[in-house]
Amino acid sequence: MHFDFALLLVIATGITGVVVLLDKLWLQKKRRQRIGRGSRPGWVVDYSRSFFPVLALVLVLRSFLFEPFQIPSGSMLPTLKIGDFILVNKFSYGVRLPVSHTEIIRGARPELGDVAVFRYPLDERLNYIKRVVGVPGDRIRYEDKQLWVNGEPVARELVTRHPSESPAEWLWREQTGAATHEVYNTPLRLYDLPEFEVPAGHYFVMGDNRDQSNDSRFWCQAAANAEVGCIAVPGYVDGRGMPLVVGFVPESTLVGKAVAVWMHWPGLFHWPNLTAMRAIE
């Protein structure tokens, strides 16, 4: 079961707003016409007056400016830790209506290196967060843990083997677009991708925890469906005759750009750590 907070917020704001409007236009007048009785409104009107401004403000802020998210998994380690609370800039990729997600003001498009939040194309009730490593028209290849973009290897340097935070991994520092960030890789060669082109209106994304991330490389599982961004690489089949199907993020599913960590709270029985505040690279 998925809890749709945006829908609940829209409904609550709408109901309290209608009650406040009815009170202004009709109920106040009726109360004044009562002779010998108090003019105090009932509890429904009273609560609606109190909550409507707060709900409306939260709806505007959350829908069009900034929305908080909590990181639930380790797919973006070491950049984002489980329990990090992040702020997502909702207008960086255009302004969208809540619930329907209709774009009403077109914004900038994601750039290489952005950490983007999007609705998971295979189940849009879920929000995913990954790093954009391919924009429309880019040619992408991934071979022996090295990412290639437009025929050039993405610059990287080895920081350390087997870091204490994750002894099974190697820690690298990469330069993706304008973003300098760290990634984890296991030393074993697990999965390569031949060169392909990112189609128009779509983005190729990967987690910074490269071998522990359900991202564009994996979520389509050889099942092509262009409506959800699962697109077969033309002219490629594996040894079993199966097509290579890559999962792209359609523009219509973009939520916003992750810009900052404002708190780290690993669990109910821990103190929130406000010193973890930092910009996201």
Q: Which of 48, 63, 75, 213 is catalytic?
A: 75
Query: What is the C-alpha to C-alpha distance for residues 14 and 8, in angstroms, rounded to an integer?
Result: 10
In sequence order, the β-bridge partners of residue 258 are: 88
Contact 229, 158 (CB under 8 A): no
The question of whether 145 is a catalytic residue gets the answer: no
How far, in Å, are 36, 147, 171, 177, 185 from residue 174 at the CA level?
A: 76, 10, 10, 10, 12
Q: Which of 90, 130, 145, 257 is catalytic?
A: 130
In terms of Cβ atoms closer than 10 Å to its own Cβ (0-12, 13-18, 19+), residue 269 is exposed
The question of whether 130 is a catalytic residue gets the answer: yes
In terms of Cβ atoms closer than 10 Å to its own Cβ (0-12, 13-18, 19+), residue 154 is middle
Q: Is the dihedral of CA 139, 137, 157, 83 positive or negative?
A: negative
If we measure between CA atoms, which residue out of 48, 58, 57, 42 comes closest to residue 15? 48
Residues that are catalytic? 75, 130
